[in-house]
Every structure is written in C-alpha cells, then in structure tokens.
Amino acid sequence: MATKSVNEQLAIGVDIGGTGTKFGIVDRNGNLLFSSDISTRDFADFDSFVSALHLKLMELVEKAGGIGKFKGIGIGAPNGNFYSGTIEYAPNLPWRGIIPLAKKVQDKFNLNVTVTNDANAAAIGEMMYGAAKGMKDFVMITLGTGVGSGFVANGQLIYGHDGFAGELGHNIIIPDGRLHEGTGKRGSLESYASATGVTATAIELLANSTEDSLLRQVPVEEMSSKKVYEAAIQGDKLAKDIFEYTGRILGIALANTVMNLSPEAIILFGGLTKAGDLILKPTKEHMEANLIEVFHNKVKLLVSHLKESDAAILGASALVWDAK
C-alpha cells in the first residue's frame, strides 16, 4: 500500500495473549492515546475473534479521528511470523495449525498489517521507547506465564531464515529435566523460569522435603508464583530457595545468550520480574558464574521500565514504524 498522506501519524498496536488480547492507539512518540481489550480464549473460531477485534477497535479509531489518520497495524502474537504474517502452531492459543492473521486483519481494516511474536514486539518497543533506546545489541526476555525472547544485533531484530527466531524459552537447559506439557520437550527454560515453572518448582520442593514453610498452608491447586513471592518477602526460606533455583536456571540461559550474542544489555520484562532482587540477584550471580572471563561484569541486567499494561501494545504498534 502506498503512503496515503502526511496525516498517517497514528498506529494500532495489538497484543494477542493466551487469555486476553489488548490493543490501543499509539502516536509516533509512543503515547498510548486509547486502549481496550477483548478475550482471546472465548473465541474458538478465529473469524469471530477478528470481527470482535474490529468492532471494538473501530470505536477507538473513531475517537482518534478516523481511519485516515492511521499508517498501519502492528500485532504481537505467540508464534507470530514476521515474513508470512501468520500464527503457526501456537500451543497457547485456541486456534490450531497455520492462521492467516495479517491477511484477515488487513481485509477487515484496509490497513497494512505487520506481525511478529510477542517478545520480538516487546524488543522493538524497548528499542524505540524503553530501556534499550540507542542500543544496537541487546536481548529482551519476557518472564510471564511462558518465557519469550527477542534478539537485536547490529541494530536489527533477528527474525531468522523463516521468521521464527527468538525462542530462548524453548532452549534445553536441563537435559532430561522437567516435562513441558505444551511442547512435550524436557528441561526447557520455560519449564522453570516462568510463572508456571515457579509454581511447579514450589510443588516439587515441598514434596521432596520436610522443611517448614508458609507455603505448606497453600493447597497444591492454589499454588502460584505470587504465593511464593508473598512467602519469600516474609522471609520464608523455602520460598526464597525456589527463586534461587529459578535464578540458577535462568542464569545459565542468560550466560549462554551472552556468550553467543555479546549484548550490551539483557532487559527482563513480565510478571516474574516483580519479585525484584529475589529473582534478579541469583540470576545475575549464576549468569556471571557461568560466563568465561572475557564477558565478566560487562553485560547490564535491566528490568523494563515501560508500564506493563502498555508495553506490549506499544511494542506491537512500533512494528508499524519499523516495518520496511
């Protein structure tokens, strides 16, 4: 599509997650003007999802002055492919197989659509508006329900040959380790260093020891990373050990990443980072312990300072300006 006018000063950012989909209208300076959300999970049918998204988004578009002001739509989605604009075999979404996301959304809105995976979108957001401003080599890692990543080298996002680069979460860190229900693989980073992973570690450690802990009052089905955090800040030793164990595995993955890509910084983002030093300290310590000498004390470990509810939308919208 050719540039229509100098009026194209706004972008739509959409962040599709396993549970909900957030979206908003963002200007070139990264100001989120309007935002809203719909459920992802409630739409077993993909076309119905796109229709609901269109309906809700057009309300915001009208508020912002009409569709003529928009340059395009950026979408971050699990297993979103930059080259093909599709979502492929995303284990956490209700739609199976290969979904023609960009095409369907483009048909509805008549705007250019750019797609990438959610962590890549977050990386672009950090580069344009966040902690990675001005950096040419950095790594973005999202620690939420799952673990996502985006790698930037030589000032460019690495999409790889087929558009699926950046799956650090599925790297095998503990061979023959914990089973990942979604992928069927054992010992991946995501099985340990996600909210789900912390919960699993809590259940395991409680079962394998007789140590006293506040967490013994929590029924197994109610265990969560939040519960572990609450116990840890009250000084609970076993809860702190859970974060130490998580940081050990995350630290190995970060050390490997540093030795491969030699980034200026690693930027962490997402729910688990709320645990602060409880998770950051052991992560940094084990990262350094696994680095060979030339890398020691060089790489900054930062936490994203973008407002969490906005960052995913900002990152997705940034795809619109970044797209070639």
Q: Point out which residues bind a second copy (CB under 8 A).
A: 79, 88-89, 135-137, 149, 151, 153-154, 156, 158-168, 170-175, 183, 185, 252, 255-257, 259-264, 290, 292-295, 298
Q: Could you give phi then psi for residue 185, rounded to 5 degrees? A: -95, 160
Report the residue number, 196 or 213, with the smaller CB distance to a second copy.
Answer: 196
Report the residue number, 58 or 172, with the smaller CB distance to a second copy.
Answer: 172
Rounded Cα distance between 292 and 307, Å, is 35
- Helices within 32-157 (DSSP H only): 46-63, 101-109, 118-129
Report the residue number, 255 or 272, with the smaller CB distance to a second copy.
Answer: 255
To the nearest whole angstrom, how small is the minimum distance from the Cβ of residue 148 to a second copy?
Answer: 12
Rounded to 10 degrees, the C-alpha dihedral 246/250/251/256 comes to: 150
Report the residue number, 233 or 259, with the smaller CB distance to a second copy.
Answer: 259
To the nearest whole angstrom, how small is the minimum distance from the Cβ of residue 196 to a second copy?
Answer: 16
Rounded Cα distance between 306 and 31, Å, is 12
To the nearest whole angstrom, how small is the minimum distance from the Cβ of residue 260 to a second copy?
Answer: 6
To the nearest whole angstrom, how small is the minimum distance from the Cβ of residue 55 to a second copy?
Answer: 31
Report the residue number, 61 or 139, with the smaller CB distance to a second copy.
Answer: 139
The Cα-based distances of 291 to 173, 193, 255 in angstroms read: 15, 19, 6
The Cα-based distances of 208 to 22, 187, 205, 285 in angstroms read: 40, 19, 5, 25
Q: For residue 281, which of 263, 259, 303, 296 has the smallest C-alpha distance?
A: 303
To the nearest whole angstrom, how small is the minimum distance from the Cβ of residue 216 to a second copy?
Answer: 28
Report the residue number, 52 or 98, with the smaller CB distance to a second copy.
Answer: 98
How many secondary structure helices (H) and strands (E) does the chain include?
8, 12
To the nearest whole angstrom, how small is the minimum distance from the Cβ of residue 100 to a second copy?
Answer: 16
Q: Which two tokens stand for residue 22?
A: 């957030």
